[in-house]
Amino acid sequence: MTQVPHEPADQSGRISELQREVEQLKEAVVSHAVVDQAIGMIVALGRVAPAQGWAVLKDVSQHTNIKLRNVADMILIWGRDGRMPPEIRAELEDALDRHGPTQIPGTPGAP
C-alpha cells in the first residue's frame, strides 16, 4: 500500500496533537514524583512498607474525595511547614491505623 503524503494542514494538526501529548506526559511525570515523595514521607513517618504507604495515600484520597495528587501535595506541605487540614490529618491517622503499626509522630499519644 502506497502512503499518501500529508498535507501541510495535516502536519500542523499533528504537531499540535503531539505538543498536547508532551505536556500531558510532563504533568504525569511531575505528578508521579509528588506521589512518590508523599509515599516516602508516609513510609518514614508511619513506619510502614512502601506498599502500605501507597495504600494509605490511596485510602486518604478515597475517603476525603480529594484527588490523590492533591492529597500528596498536602502531605508534602505538611512535611515542610507542619500545616495540614484537620480532616486530612484525621483521615491520614485513620488510614495509618488500618495499614500500619503506629500513629503520626507529634499527635497525642504517639511515640
User: What mean pLDDT, rounded, does the chain reach?
Assistant: 84
pLDDT in tens, 5-50: 555 557 888 888 888 888 887 787 777 899 999 999 999 988 899 9
- In angstroms, the CA 6 to CA 88 distance is 52
pLDDT band for 109, please (50, 70, 90 cuts).
low
* Interval 61-83 mean pLDDT: 94
Residue 55 has pLDDT above 80, yes or no: yes
Q: At what angle do helices 50-64 and 68-81 cross, to 10 degrees?
A: 110
